[in-house]
């Protein structure tokens, strides 16, 4: 049986909900408290946090202002197509720095040697 791929908007709703939940918990707020801020029921907050219901833009704006965070906070963990990035696909700071150093190396033969060495270690 073929497994259906998730739509990007559904993954986006889930990720935004997860980020809202993290923000709420970091502030020490309950779902009921957040519901009061958004003027919705706590059940509606549960649905937002689980990605079952899409968080309306005006509610997102309210959260952004209340918690004093940039909009990017709500979209953390999404790629440019709206899909969730898997944790193992995320590139660590150390890896980014290593890649930058290799890219700026003037010696092509040393660059190639490093790439061959890494390839051999992997296979």
What's the mean pLDDT when you consider all of the chain? 80
30-75 pLDDT, tens digit each: 999 999 999 999 999 999 999 999 999 999 999 999 988 888 888 8
Residues 28 and 59 occupy one common structural domain: yes
Q: Is residue 62 part of a domain?
A: yes
DSSP 62-86: HHHHHHT--THHHHTTB-TTSPBPP
Residue 31 lies inside a defined structural domain of this protein: yes
Q: How many domains does the chain have?
A: 2
Residue matched to tokens 């980014």: 96
Domain that holds residue 118: 93-122
Q: What is the pLDDT of residues 72-82, one digit of tens each?
A: 888 887 765 55
Q: Is the pLDDT of residue 89 over 50?
A: no
CA atoms of 31 and 42, how far apart (whole Å): 6
- Give the pLDDT confidence score for residue 3 in this predicted structure: 52
Examine the domain organization and report whether 56 and 100 are in the same domain: no
Model pTM score: 0.60
State whether 60 and 74 are in the same domain: yes
| Residue 18 Cα distances to 13, 53, 74, 99, 103, angstroms | 9, 12, 8, 31, 36
């Amino acid at each position: 049986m073929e497994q259906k791929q998730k739509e990007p908007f559904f993954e986006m709703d889930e990720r935004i909900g997860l980020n809202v939940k993290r923000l709420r918990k970091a502030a020490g707020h309950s779902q009921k408290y957040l519901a009061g801020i958004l003027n919705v029921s706590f059940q509606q907050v549960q649905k937002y946090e689980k990605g079952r219901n899409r968080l309306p833009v005006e509610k997102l704006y309210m959260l952004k202002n209340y918690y004093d965070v940039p909009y990017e906070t709500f979209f953390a963990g999404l790629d440019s197509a709206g899909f969730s990035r898997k944790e193992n696909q995320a590139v660590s700071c150390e890896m980014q720095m290593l890649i930058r150093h290799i890219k700026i190396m003037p010696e092509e033969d040393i660059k190639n040697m490093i790439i061959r060495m890494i390839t051999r270690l992997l296979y």
